[in-house]
Amino acid sequence: MAEATRDRAQEVLLELRGVDKRFGATQALDDVSLEIRGGEIHAFVGENGAGKSTLGKIIAGVYAADAGAVVVNGSVIDKWNPAIAQKQGVAMIAQELALVPDLTVAQNVFLGAEQHRFGIERRNLNERFAALDAETGFGLDPRMRVRDLRIADQQKVEILRALARNARIIVMDEPTSSLTAYEMSQLENLMRALRDRGCGVIYVSHFLDSVLGVADRITVMRDGRRIESVQASTVVKHDIVTSMLGRELEQAFPERGAAPPASIPPVLRVRDLRTETGGAAMSFDVRPGEIVGLLGLVGSGRTECLRAVFGVDKTAGGSVELGGRDWTGRSPRESIEAGLVLVSEDRHKDGLVLQRSVRENIALSSLSARTRYGIVTRGSEKHVAKDLAESLQMRPPDIELPVSWFSGGNQQKALLGKALAAQPRVVILDEPTRGVDVGAKRTIYDLVARLAAEGIAVLLISSEHEEIMELAHRAYLVSGGRTFDEIIPEHTTVEDVLHRLFNVTPREETAA
């Protein structure tokens, strides 16, 4: 695009002046001033709880500022609210998705966008949907119910919804957190296309490589304050991390502890496990004190398999053995009682009761463990929750607050706390650091290492392959719902693993 057109597009679409926002004792935003320009991808980065989502919600009119002003086209808008923001062309893809599960994909996309009193004709809608879908290359089925979509696809529906409204400012709050690498690059291209069309794109993300690759400008938030806004081309990752944390980040990963001796029998033994969705089979062992990773591309069937091991999903064949007992087809409740817990990738659907406090959420899972000894008092419950919240460095450090009061990353930590409170023997972690900032990731890695050191068996899924390569004692390679190889991460490289994952031939798969 010619320089001149780019310059013209760079007008200020929206401005925040001295915005404050408080939630109870938390100063979520403190005197934040900021410009959103057309023709620019503007990233917000910062630690969990730094105020990024709150800032996005102020821009989208979801929250009203306690002080300060929203300025559009040079004039202060008095009562900035969602309806006015939408009229001014602002759309937000929230971190916690806001779709109607029982409606179809197309219905959700056009919900509230019907300008016509009598609604838009169905045929017209289908055409418009097809056009939007083609523009993004998402390939979504308009007739599917949103409740049946995986999170990544639900995120795409939200994006289509923003496009359907012809938004000029689009706030994307961690839109990539559950996308595959391919989908992520698709989304990045979409952001660039929107920018070149003159839109102001706000991109909130913990994937700093993606931020540096796609953003024009980066605003760093810390403790509710805007620390700086810089041209992306003038900084490197290390600068951003230091600015986010306000200090240097030490080692990203803890030292890998020793693997348990080979003589110790596995506590979890899975053989030829098949789920209802996949035809292939998974086989693996995990020993007490061992961290075992499942390496695969998103969609390789790891999540489905582990959900079946835990008992949320049905098994279609094969066996699970826990502590020497047949554990095939058990219920999640039985699993938790027997010390097998799953920390799921979808913290709202499978994990937390948002209106309840962190303490209550943590207590829900550990209750059965402690009723066995007949010591359920609020005091002990509080003690356990407090301990966990401390070791997870929950922020704010107040376990009596409802989960909904915590930022996305801190909710993730609460979910982990809940699982650990059950005093498990086997912990299954599915994307445990999703949405967690670089500093807090280290807290979670330390915890994983500590669990293993205490003799707990850990099974880890992560799309950030580096996490498994740095933490796990052993790992299985998974493709098409089948474990086809086993590696010692310490003795191999990420490149080698990726090479193998992308180049599995059907013959190799069946040979394993």
Which residues contact ligand ATP by CB under 6 A? 23, 26, 28, 46, 48-54, 95, 396, 404-410, 437
Instruction: From residue 109, give the alpha-carbon distance in Å to each of 73, 130, 136, 241, 264.
Output: 28, 12, 13, 36, 53
Cis preceding linkage at 266, omega within 30: no
Which region among 231-239, 303-311, 334-342, 406-414 touches Mg ion (by CB under 5 A)?
Answer: 406-414
Minimum Å gap between C-beta 28 and ligand ATP is 3
Shortest Å distance, C-beta 19 to ligand ATP: 12
Start-end of H helices in 218-357: 237-245, 302-310, 332-337
Site string for Mg ion, 36-65 (x = CB under 5 A): -----------------x------------
Of residues 158 and 437, the one with the C-beta less far from ligand ATP: 437
Q: Which residue is nearest to Mg ion (CB)?
A: 53
Q: Which is nearer to ligand ATP, 141 or 390 (CB)?
A: 390
Q: CB of residue 391 vs ligand ATP: minimum separation in angstroms? A: 18
Task: Report the 3 state secondary structure along 275-297.
Answer: ECCCCCCEEEEECCCCEEEEEEC
- Give the Cα separation of 471 and 492 in Å (integer): 13
Q: Tell how far CA 308 is from the center of its chain.
A: 21
CA distances from 457 to 103, 193, 423 (A): 41, 46, 12
Q: Is 9 left (phi over 0), alpha (psi -120 to 50) or beta?
A: alpha
Minimum distance from residue 407 beta carbon to Mg ion (Å): 5
Task: For 303-340, give one letter per residue: b (16+ CB within 10 A) or e.
Answer: bbbbbbbbbebebeebebbbbeeebbebebeebbebbb
Q: Out of Mg ion, ligand ATP, none, which partner does residue 396 contact, by CB within 5 to 8 A per kind?
A: ligand ATP
Residue ranges in 413-432 that form contacts with Mg ion under rule CB under 5 A = none
Measured from the CB atom, the residue of 241 and 282 that comes closer to Mg ion is 241
Alpha helical stretches, state H, 43-121? 52-59, 82-87, 105-110
Residue 408 in contact with Mg ion, rule: CB under 5 A: yes
289 binds Mg ion (CB under 5 A): no
Q: How far is the CB of 51 from ligand ATP (least distance, A)?
A: 4
- Segment 75-104, which members bind Mg ion (CB under 5 A)? 95
Q: Which is nearer to Mg ion, 300 or 407 (CB)?
A: 407
Nearer to ligand ATP, 437 or 467 (CB): 437
* Contact present, 29 and 18 (Cβ < 8 Å): no
Question: Taking CB under 5 A as the rule, does residue 205 contact Mg ion?
Answer: no
Q: How far apart are CA 314 and CA 277, in angstroms?
A: 10
Structure tokens belonging to residue 13:
């679409």
Which of residues 205 and 303 has its CB atom nearest to Mg ion in the complex? Answer: 205
Minimum distance of ligand ATP from residue 96's CB (angstroms): 9
The length of the chain in residues reads 512
Shortest Cβ 67–ligand ATP spacing (Å): 16
Residues of the shown chain interacting with Mg ion in the complex, contacts defined by CB under 5 A: 53, 95, 407-408
